[in-house]
């Protein structure tokens, strides 16, 4: 009676999935047809309305947060801080009071965000433009102060660069921003709809 040959050494468990391992099988178009053949139930990452909710130290699924592409993924680390927005009213009592309360009540979190090459470059470009324009603003201001009467034009250059740098900085900070951070979870705004659709709803 014939029998099947024994498996090659070291390959007995090649088709088994270890406990706790997360595997993805990508089928169809990544913008809407991504199917998880096997997905770990409790990964600590959820969706809530248009936001992503994740536990601190949770590992995000290895797809672009913006477009859901699984291709050419790179990790960008975002170090975030958040405090209750209601604190902004204390600024009327003095900026120093607002700063002290914001520091005392702030919550911090770190997000290792997977991004495709296109969105990784976009976020890096926004930061570079913001920093470059703000530096140019300082340089133009220095020229202005060197001889105010002859170099008044540089005042407008400094102001224009400063405003441009601020706009780019706001865009960079809005790329992925926290709407709430507590001791257990981070709520993120700016995550793509297709990425969110692949997650379980928070609280269910």
Tokens encoding 45: 């990452």
Same domain, 103 and 192: yes
Q: Are 55 and 184 in contact (CB under 8 A)?
A: yes
Q: Are 30 and 14 in contact (CB under 8 A)?
A: no
User: What range does the domain containing 33 cover?
Assistant: 21-65+74-115+176-204
Same domain, 28 and 104: yes
Other residues' Cβ atoms within 10 Å of the Cβ of residue 188? 26
Same domain, 107 and 186: yes
What's the CA gap between 55 and 193, in Å, rounded?
19
Same domain, 53 and 141: no
What's the CA gap between 116 and 67, in Å, rounded?
8
Same domain, 53 and 135: no
- Split into its structural domains, the chain has a count of 2
Other residues' Cβ atoms within 10 Å of the Cβ of residue 187? 19
Same domain, 192 and 165: no
Q: Are 181 and 80 in contact (CB under 8 A)?
A: yes
Does residue 44 belong to any structural domain of this protein?
yes
Q: What is the pLDDT of residue 150?
A: 67
Q: What is the pLDDT of residue 5?
A: 53
Q: What is the pLDDT of residue 204?
A: 57
pLDDT digits 0-9 by tens, 84-124: 888 888 888 888 998 899 899 999 999 999 999 999 999 99
How big is the CA angle at 10 (ends 6 and 11), to the nearest 5 degrees? 60
* Ramachandran assignment for 150, one of left (phi > 0), alpha (psi -120 to 50 degrees), beta (any other): alpha
Does residue 5 belong to any structural domain of this protein?
no
pLDDT digits 0-9 by tens, 185-195: 999 999 999 99
Does residue 132 belong to any structural domain of this protein?
yes
Tokens encoding 190: 């700016």
Which residues, given as ranges, of the chain have pLDDT below 70?
1-42, 148-150, 204
């Amino acid at each position: 009676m014939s029998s099947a040959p024994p498996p090659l050494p070291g390959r007995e468990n090649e088709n088994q999935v270890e406990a706790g391992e997360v595997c993805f099988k990508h089928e169809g178009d990544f913008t809407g047809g991504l199917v998880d053949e096997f997905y770990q139930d409790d990964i600590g990452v959820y969706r809530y309305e248009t936001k992503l909710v994740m536990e601190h130290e949770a590992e995000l699924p290895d797809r672009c947060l913006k477009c859901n592409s699984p291709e050419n993924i790179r990790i960008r680390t975002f170090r975030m801080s958040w405090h209750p927005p209601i604190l902004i009213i204390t600024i009327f009592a003095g900026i120093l009071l607002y700063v002290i309360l914001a520091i005392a009540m702030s919550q911090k979190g770190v997000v290792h965000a997977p991004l495709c090459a296109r969105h990784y470059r976009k976020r890096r470009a926004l930061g570079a433009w913001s920093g470059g324009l703000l530096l140019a603003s300082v340089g133009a201001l220095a020229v202005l102060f060197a001889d105010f009467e002859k170099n008044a034009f540089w005042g407008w250059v400094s102001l224009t660069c400063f405003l441009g740098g601020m706009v780019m900085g706001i865009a960079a900070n809005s790329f992925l921003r926290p709407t709430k951070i507590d001791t257990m979870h981070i709520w993120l705004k700016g995550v793509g709809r297709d990425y969110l659709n692949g997650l379980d709803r928070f609280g269910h």
